[in-house]
Chain A
Amino acid sequence: MTRIAVHEPILQEPARRAEALRRRMTEQGTLVVNLLSSPGAGKTTLLRETALRLSSEYRLGALVGDIATDRDAARLRTAMPAVQLTTGGACHLEVPLVEAGLEQLKGAGTEPLDFLFIENVGNLVCPASFDLGEHLRVVLLSVTEGDDKPQKYPKAFRTAEACVISKTDLLPYLPFSPDSARADARVIRPDLAFFEVSSQSGEGVEAWCGFLVGLRRARVGRP
């Protein structure tokens, strides 16, 4: 009996590929943002509002993960070039799908992008395990979900750098406490940045966009 010692994460190879993609994106000045949330937390709507504010100054593109349909990409296309990544049943995105989507986006004539938004499949478990080469991982938590989500999905909150509390216009009607959600999440990720946003009223969207622009300057060194 012989043993081959490996001692490496199963996802080492995908992680290397993600790192190579991140390096390429950094060199060409593209900030890559990976959005995670439960289904229906408002990823598409937030991206649309974000694009409406940033598109006059920046070249934007979006890749949208969906198990079966093209609906989210169709909604986004009114605000920025968007490609649907249909996963055919898979619960998360992986780097090869992102690379294929980037090739398709090239046809839109906006290369190199200033921002690439990746809307992951709606799911707070599986996407948390896969690095897509992003510079920023954001987790959306809508006020209709309950403020105890962070402790239920520790990996998503630990690996995210920012959390957007969405649909805040509904706060008056719900028992959701942004303070509890924040405290709950910061047990897991003490330096998690928080944004409270209503894509309907537009409240908080400006601050969120400002954060993205600042982060792009910091991470990929572009104004």
Chain B
Amino acid sequence: MHETALIAHLLRRVERELAAAGASRVTALRLKVGALAGVEPALLESAYRDLSPGTPAEGARLDLELVPLLASCEDCGRGFEVERFRFHCPACGSGRTRIVAGEHVILEEIVVAGWQSLGAPS
């Protein structure tokens, strides 16, 4: 259940971002979950419910957007969606393909409330 570890890393990152921006409370977190991120969205959500209380993200919404796995061919340059984890290029058949999206859980943005200062984030 490494989803718990991922959420722990997420909450630490959120605290750092809030401190840097001089903000204190989160109202929503927006995440992109790649098809090859190796996580179960439902487990991410339950880990978030378990770990967020007592942090600045307590009560904040967790928005998960599932994103497809995209690759590009190193030989012919074709970009394609990797379906059923078949990584060969559908155009030229090459095995030399590179993932361009969909292998991570990405923190897109933090929606915040309660700015402590009115100035621009430092």
Chain A positions within 8 Å of B, measured between CB atoms, are: 1-14, 90-92, 94, 125-126, 128-130, 151, 154-155, 158, 186-191
Contact = CB atoms under 8 A, between A and B. Distances in A.
A9 B104 contact: yes
Interface string B89-118: 000000111000001111111111101000
A129 B9 contact: no
A18 B26 CA distance: 29
Q: Specify the main secondary structure of chain B where it touches its partner.
A: mixed
Interface residues of B, number: 39
A130 B2 contact: yes
Contacts of A6: 13, 17, 107-110
Nearest to B7: A10
Main secondary structure on A side of the interface with B: mixed
A197 B36 CA distance: 29
Nearest to A187: B86
A154 B36 contact: yes
A7 B115 contact: no
B88 interface: yes
Contact of B109 (A5, A92, A129): A5
Contact of A128 (B12, B38, B95, B113): B38
A189 B95 CA distance: 8
A3 B111 contact: yes
A2 B105 CA distance: 22
B105 A9 contact: yes
A190 B103 CA distance: 17
Given A1-B27, A129-B38, 10 more contacts: A2-B23, A3-B111, A9-B106, A10-B104, A11-B9, A11-B105, A12-B13, A13-B12, A91-B1, A188-B85
